[in-house]
Amino acid sequence: ASVSVIMPAAGSGQRFGSQSNKLFAVLDGKPLWQHAVDRFQHRGDVRQIVLAISEEDDSTFREQIAAISSAVPIHLVRGGATRSESVRAALDQVQKFAAESASNGTATKTLVAIHDAARPLVRQVDLDRVFAKAAETGAAILAAPVSGTLKRATSHGSDTVDRRHTYVALTPQVFAIDVICQAYARDRGRMATDDAQLVERTSHPVQLVTGSADNLKITFPEDLRIAEAILNECRS
């Protein structure tokens, strides 16, 4: 399959609390967003990467992209006020490219992989496995089994959620292009915190592929310290 990667990068990183977008925070000598791009750009199956960015960050992204050499084209689109809107903008671009290559007679089965630019540590083996599962079934996401005991607040106190079948959703979330485009087309405006939710609502089953819990999302400043520690461990 040939994979188009969508990276929502148009947030502001409020919880991270820095002056500029957290994606410009430096981890091991390069900005966070570039780690995410680098995990995908050398793969033979990735054809392009589409970053959804905010107007405010436009010039910084352009400068930083110009300073690196990428093995695949990196396209920029204007993101929206929510993550879903940012993904939708990038998806429109990916659809256009797919239509162009179809009319050129070069269409192969296109997968769309949606990956948070704020996840710098996804492993190649996990990408191999989730891409393969999506190629086979049309929809697959990385997910990590919940390790703690899960509680639900109730009106009288709490109860315990059976964690045996419980996972935390990670990214990338990978779909056949038709599956994700249909899900976004029928769900204009409804809230979702990930993309698989929209596909679940179309009743197309979404497969869970167990991924490494190292694939953390940088949300708070302390997450950057954890990511640094994981990178150092991988080197030793």
Is residue 79 involved in binding ligand CTP (CB under 6 A)? Answer: yes
Please choose which of Mg ion, ligand CTP, none residue 133 contacts, taking the beta carbon within 5 to 8 angstroms, the exact cut-off set by kind: none
Please, which residue, 8 or 211, has the CB nearer to ligand CTP?
8
**Contact residue for ligand CTP among 6, 25, 113, 117 (CB under 6 A):** 117
- Determine the Cα–Cα distance for residues 187 and 173; give it in Å rounded to an integer: 17
Pair type for strands 150-154 and 157-161: antiparallel
172 touches ligand CTP (CB under 6 A): no
How far apart are CB 113 and ligand CTP at their closest, in Å?
Answer: 14
Cβ 109 vs Cβ 136: under 8 Å: no
Q: Is 58 in the site for ligand CTP (CB under 6 A)?
A: no
Q: Is 122 near ligand CTP (CB under 6 A)?
A: no
Closest contact distance (angstroms) between CB of 129 and Mg ion is: 27
- 60 is a contact residue toward ligand CTP (CB under 6 A): no
For residue 5, the minimal CB distance to ligand CTP (Å) is 13
Q: Which stretch binds ligand CTP (CB under 6 A): 38-46, 67-75, 114-122, 130-138?
A: 114-122
Quick check: 33 and 7 in contact, CB under 8 A? Answer: yes
Residue found by looking up tokens 């509680």 in the block = 151
Q: CB within 8 A of 43, min separation 6: which ones?
A: 3, 124, 127
Nearer to ligand CTP among residue 138 and residue 174 (C-beta): 174
Contact 86, 52 (CB under 8 A): yes
Torsion angle, alpha carbons of 189, 82, 166, 137, to 10: 70
Instruction: Choose among 215, 217, 184, 218: nearest CA to 201.
Output: 184
Q: Tell which residue, 19, 12, 21, 141, has the closest CA to residue 80.
A: 12
Per partner kind, with CB cut-offs from 5 to 8 A, the member of Mg ion, ligand CTP, none near residue 197 is none
For residue 76, state whether it binds ligand CTP (rule: CB under 6 A).
no
Strands (E) across 82-149 are located at 110-114, 139-145
Interface with ligand CTP by CB under 6 A: which range of 60-68, 115-123, 132-140, 158-166? 115-123
Q: What, of Mg ion, ligand CTP, none, does residue 219 touch, CB below 5 to 8 Å by kind?
A: ligand CTP
Half-sphere exposure of 141 (CA within 13 A, CB side): 22
* Interface positions with Mg ion (CB under 5 A): 11
Footprint on this chain of ligand CTP (rule: CB under 6 A): 8-16, 23, 52, 79-83, 86, 116-118, 217, 219
